[in-house]
Amino acid sequence: MPFTIAIDGPAASGKGTIARALARHFGFAHLDTGLLYRAVGAMGGDPVAAARALVPSDLDRDDLRSAEAGQAASRVAAIPEVRAALIDFQRRFARTEPGAVLDGRDIGTVICPEAELKLYVTANDAVRARRRALELGDDEVRILGELRERDARDAARAVAPMRPAKDALLLDTSEMAIDEAVAHAIASAKEAGA
């Protein structure tokens, strides 16, 4: 039976880095579910039609990591029909043998509530803004404002708001080096039976 790891949390908290490291460590498949929404937002036009037509190769676009794609993702993710169109894709992926790691904002609460391990990765706003500014080579103050705006929108949306699952383990990476955060996540996965 596949082992599913659901990782949620706000942007630049470290969830993607931790998810990729867990997938490598355990030999699991990895899906950054935010790329689904980024791809839909970047495609333009009718977001519902774009979500229904999405194919895996759409996730390989070079522009999906931009700040603009992140803002577009947050806007289209608030559309219930877009979310519905992408749920089956994500749930099928989650049951990949021998296991899968999915990271996003509603994996443990909506997509994979039955996941064998749920982590909620977070960090304080200033740390997240610094990380994202370094990643994008952009202005930290502007990034901080965008992160806060996106977090507020994602936490307040009526459908699948960003929040930790009741049984998620909280991993605050504000004061952690990445190796330490990954080690905590690997230990948690082993304890859960990975």
- pLDDT digits over 34-44, tens only? 899 999 999 98
Residue 177 annotated as binding? no
Domains for the chain: give ranges and CATH numbers: 3-187 (3.40.50.300)
Annotated binding-site residue? 11: yes
> Reading across the β-sheet that carries 29-32, which strands appear in turn?
29-32, 99-104, 3-8, 117-122, 169-172
Reading the block at residue 169, the tokens are: 């383990």
Instruction: Give the tokens for residue 130.
Output: 């610094």
Chain centroid to Cα 10, Å, comes to: 8
Torsion angle defined by CA atoms of residues 60, 102, 109 and 191, in that order, rounded to the nearest 10 degrees: -170
Confirm whether residue 194 is marked as ligand binding. Answer: no
**Residue 190, annotated as binding a ligand:** no
Residue 16 annotated as binding site: yes
Structure tokens at 181: 């955060």
Rounded to two decimals, the pTM is 0.85
Torsion of CA 122, 126, 83, 194, to 10 degrees: -20
H-assigned helices in 33-175? 34-43, 47-53, 67-77, 80-94, 125-136, 140-156
* 9 annotated ligand-binding residue: yes
Q: Is 34 annotated as a binding residue?
A: no
Kindly report, residue by residue over 103-155, the tens digit of the pLDDT: 998 999 999 999 999 999 999 999 999 999 998 888 999 999 999 998 888 88
